[in-house]
Amino acid sequence: MKVCVIGTGYVGLVTGACLAHAGHQVICVDNNAAKVAMMQAGKSPIYEPGLAEMMQNAMQTGCLQFTTDLAVGVEHGDVLFIAVGTPPLPTGESDTRYVEAVARGIGQHLGNRYKVIVNKSTVPIGSGDWVRRIILDAVAERQEANPEASTAQLSTKSTAVKFDVVSNPEFLREGSAVSDTFNPDRIVLGSSSQKALDCMQALYAPIICRVFAENPDLPPVPVVTTDLSSAETIKYAANAFLATKISFINEIANICDRVGADVTQVAQGIGLDSRIGSKFLQAGIGWGGSCFPKDVAALVHTADDYGYEAELLKTAVSVNSRQRLLAVEKLQQALGILKGKTIGLLGLTFKPDTDDMRDTPALDLITQLSRLGAKVKAYDPIYAEDSQGFQAVPDQVILKTTPEDLAEDCDAIILVTDWQQFRGLNYADLAQRMNIAVVIDGRNYLNPDEMVAAGFYYVGIGRPSAGNPTAASRSLRQQIAA
Ligand code: UDX
Ligand code: UDX
């Protein structure tokens, strides 16, 4: 099938490349010319495992092209995906101006051929009908401005322009977005048009039939077909539920801290109950990223618009805001005054296997530590290499390119991101380089006994601390060694 994906961010580019890999003819459109030039040269502007290779292969087979020209994309696609960003406004609502601009652009270039317009961006509930109206208005404006050209290109009346709008929310996690696309738990399609729904089923047939799945023997991927608003709400409800689940386990972690229990054991114990499930029960320094914070805020805002106060969701957010500063409290308990101390952040991104810094808990830590007069250093494996997202790192952070450089003369390190390579570091060597060998394990990712054996005082989230804080200081370590 002929597909156009508008917006080549984390979601659009992965969607475009995966559909091209599945054999569709895909044109990706982006208004950022530098990004398009990069992709035309076979380079991915974002770090996502497996994406660059898939892009290059699909380009070689002629299935994937990139352009800045929306007209070319709209003319090409039978299915047009809108996948531009919908960042949060200060009020919590989604900023839909990019979706609006793209919808208008589609209307300006729409011809007579039937098209399915797919909202892939996470848009406020009700946006499907709104997008439809914008497209129709743009078509009408074009006809009024240039009746002769329009009649040559279009049917005589705007109502004769044939298109349907579908909501097809994405559930991709950054860092495993390619695998998530080919191994989805479900595909959600919302539309009032059976023709459009059939078209989407045909588009996704290779994925539904698990042609590229890790386990092709599983039954077909369930497809939830519903109305536009329900599909849009499914996306918000899924993210709000997952974010609330993490806030829940973080609340339990804070109780564990006070009663001396271990939240990792508690999570295992409750997660084995199939009604609860073991996923998204990892306690830590809070959720971040480009989706959870903005989507929960947007849902709260929508509820507000309709006269309902979403108390549970608001609490999930406030538990998370407090959690994102918990590591600083724990540092104060371990080190006392932080003014003049040097703190090393192990990891900056909001989760591993991505270069995305959007709303990462690291940003709150950096602000708070700097406010308290601490010096902040950081090491993140993704910024040790050349990376686009590098500019997102705040100026007051001293970036280091190795964990050893990071550890040098630090008074504590905080593990912010659970990058896999952080499990294999030579912590005994790092401890030797530190002024005070304290580690705040913000993701409960390290083994407390191993960290103590390496010379650290270990502090986790919702689990007992391990080691001796006094013995962690360099002077005492030197005395003991002497
Ligand atoms: C996506 C979404 O679509 C968002 O709604 C969802 O909640 C998270 O995932 P993301 O892929 O993260 O957003 O967006 P981003 O990385 O900001 O990329 C958007 C792309 O669209 C950029 O490359 C930008 O240049 C492009 N763009 C933006 C256009 O091509 N045209 C525009 O008018 C605006
Ligand atoms: C999320 C959703 O999972 C995905 O379905 C949606 O489409 C986009 O938003 P993403 O933001 O890429 O994906 O990452 P995710 O793996 O969900 O993690 C989000 C945040 O929650 C991260 O900061 C992560 O560290 C945190 N998290 C996750 C926890 O603190 N504990 C957990 O158990 C899981």
pLDDT of residue 64: 98
pLDDT of residue 199: 98
Residue 374 CA to residue 84 CA, distance in Å, equals: 38
pLDDT of residue 158: 46
Tell me, using a 6 A CB cutoff, whether residue 11 lines ligand 1. yes
Distances (CA, A) of 107 to 100, 134, 153: 11, 7, 13
Tell me, using a 6 A CB cutoff, whether residue 38 lines ligand 1. no
- pTM value is 0.93
* Residues 388/45, Cβ–Cβ less than 8 Å: yes
At 386, the pLDDT band (50, 70, 90 cuts) reads: low
**Residue located nearest, by CA, to atom 9 of ligand 2:** 291
**Residue located nearest, by CA, to atom 3 of ligand 1:** 121
Tell me, using a 6 A CB cutoff, whether residue 331 lines ligand 1. no
Distances (CA, A) of 11 to 8, 94, 425: 7, 17, 32
Comparing C-alpha atoms, which of 31, 35, 33, 48 is closest to residue 17? 48
At 395, the pLDDT band (50, 70, 90 cuts) reads: confident
pLDDT of residue 106: 97
Model confidence pLDDT, tens digit, residues 280-324: 999 999 999 999 999 999 999 999 999 999 999 999 999 999 999
Mean pLDDT, the chain, whole residue set: 94
pLDDT of residue 156: 42
Q: Which of 11-15, 32-36, 146-150, 367-371 has the lowest mean pLDDT?
A: 146-150
Model confidence pLDDT, tens digit, residues 223-267: 999 999 999 999 999 999 999 999 999 999 999 999 999 999 999
Residue 13 CA to residue 62 CA, distance in Å, equals: 16
Q: Which ligand lies nearest the alpha carbon of 289?
A: 2
Atom of ligand 2 nearest to the CA of 282: 33
Percent of the chain with pLDDT over 70: 96
Q: How far is the CA of 108 from the centre of ligand 2 (A)?
A: 37
The amino acid at residue 103 is A
Question: Backbone dihedral region of 260: left (phi > 0), alpha (psi from -120 to 50 degrees) or beta?
Answer: left
Does the annotation count 291 as an active-site position? yes
Which neighbouring-strand residues pair with 165? 117
> Where does 284-405 show beta strands of DSSP type E?
342-346, 375-379, 397-399
Atom of ligand 1 nearest to the CA of 83: 3
Q: Which ligand lies nearest the alpha carbon of 46?
A: 1
Comparing C-alpha atoms, which of 123, 57, 120 is closest to residue 94? 123
Which neighbouring-strand residues pair with 226? 190
Model confidence pLDDT, tens digit, residues 69-99: 999 999 999 999 999 999 989 988 899 999 9
**Residue located nearest, by CA, to atom 32 of ligand 2:** 280
Residue 399 CA to residue 230 CA, distance in Å, equals: 45
Q: How far is the CA of 182 from the centre of ligand 1 (A)?
A: 21
Residue 55 CA to residue 14 CA, distance in Å, equals: 9
Instruction: Give mean pLDDT, residues 401-423.
Output: 97
Instruction: Give mean pLDDT, residues 431-454.
Output: 97
> Where does 254-330 show beta strands of DSSP type E?
none
Model confidence pLDDT, tens digit, residues 122-180: 999 999 999 999 999 999 998 888 776 655 455 444 456 799 999 999 999 999 999 99
Distances (CA, A) of 160 to 11, 155, 164, 234, 310: 32, 6, 12, 31, 42
Percent of the chain with pLDDT over 90: 87
Residue 351 CA to residue 288 CA, distance in Å, equals: 8
For residue 252, the SS3 value is: helix
Residue ranges of domains in the chain, CATH in brackets: 2-226 (3.40.50.720), 234-323 (1.10.1040.10), 325-481 (3.40.50.720)
* Residues 326/394, Cβ–Cβ less than 8 Å: no
Cα distance from N-terminal residue to C-terminal residue, the chain: 73
pLDDT of residue 38: 97
Would you list which residues are annotated within the binding site for NAD(+)?
30, 35, 86, 122, 174, 294, 358
* Residues 378/345, Cβ–Cβ less than 8 Å: yes
Comparing C-alpha atoms, which of 98, 100, 24, 28 is closest to residue 69? 28
**pLDDT above 70 for 389:** no
Q: What is the C-alpha radius of gyration for the chain, rounded to an integer number of angstroms?
A: 25
